[in-house]
Amino acid sequence: MSDAFQWLYSDIVKEHFTNPKNVFDPDEEFRTDAEGVVGNIKCGDQMMFLLRIEEDRIADVRWKTYGCASAIASTSMLSEVIKGMPLREAYGIKPADIARKLGGLPENKIHCSVLGDKALRAAIDSWLEKHGRTGEFKGEDAMEICHCLNITDKDIEQAVKDGARSWGQLQEATKIGTVCGGCKVKAEELLHEFAHIYGD
Ligand code: FES
């Protein structure tokens, strides 16, 4: 193993990358109550989460990704962390929580770890929808980006899902940044992050 590899990744990342937990095996009979898929296959990172749900808790989980070492290790760790967790708590997990549990990730690899929690939320949202509880947890984990207009990261995510890919399109969809403009840098960062996730 090269020194560069040892320097870049913690031992926990290496363990989850080389021996990932809860990976979906199509030959296994896994009862799936909810499925979430996100990602951009053109960039080679797409993520699928399958959940078994009992009494509003995640009873079991399987996942599959075409991502890199960081994506695989992050999702493996995430899948371990959420087992037995109430849905509401699992819905609020952030990539930074998982990166911390992995003993950190290289700065330029953080963006690879952002798909797991989104696929997880997509699966939970689909399950809530199936049970007549559409959007029950939405907004609870929102972060306000534009303080002048109360626009959150969720609003930006939704605009990108609806097709916004440039600053102008995002402004058209949300009116973000049209007062003091102080939110532009952060909003553009999120725009690029979500465009990567949902397809450029
Ligand atoms: S913070 Fe967004 S326009 Fe002022």
Residues 54-71 as b or e (16 or more Cβ within 10 Å = b): eeebbebbbbbbebebbb
The total of structural domains in the chain comes to 2
Range of the domain at 191: 144-198
Residue that finishes a domain, picked among 82, 99, 130: 130
Are 124 and 171 within one domain?
Answer: no
Is the pLDDT at 40 greater than 90, yes or no? no
Q: Where are the beta strands (DSSP E) in the chain?
A: 34-40, 45-54, 57-65, 144-146, 151-152
Rounded CA-CA distance 95/136 in Å is 21
Residue that finishes a domain, picked among 106, 130, 154: 130
Segment among 42-46, 135-139, 144-148, 179-183 with least mean pLDDT: 42-46
DSSP code at position 118: H
Whether 48 maps to a domain, the answer reads yes
Q: Are 105 and 13 in contact (CB under 8 A)?
A: yes
Are 10 and 56 within one domain?
Answer: yes
Whether 156 maps to a domain, the answer reads yes
Express as a percent the part of the chain with pLDDT over 90: 44
Q: Of 62, 55, 109, nearest to 84 (Cα)?
A: 55
Q: How far is the CA of 148 from the centre of ligand 1 (A)?
A: 4
Is the pLDDT at 51 greater than 60, yes or no? yes
Are 81 and 163 within one domain?
Answer: no
Q: How far is the CA of 194 from the centre of ligand 1 (A)?
A: 20
What pLDDT band is residue 34 in, cutting at 50, 70 and 90? Answer: very high
Are 148 and 62 within one domain?
Answer: no
Rounded CA-CA distance 34/7 in Å is 38
Whether 68 maps to a domain, the answer reads yes
What pLDDT band is residue 68 in, cutting at 50, 70 and 90? Answer: confident
Whether 137 maps to a domain, the answer reads no
Report, as residue numbers or ranges, the catalytic residues: 43, 112
CATH number at residue 189: 1.10.10.1100
Our answer on whether the CB atom of 150 is closer than 6 Å to any ligand 1 atom is no
Nearest CA to ligand 1 atom 4: 180
Judged on CB neighbours under 10 Å (0-12, 13-18, 19+), 143 is exposed
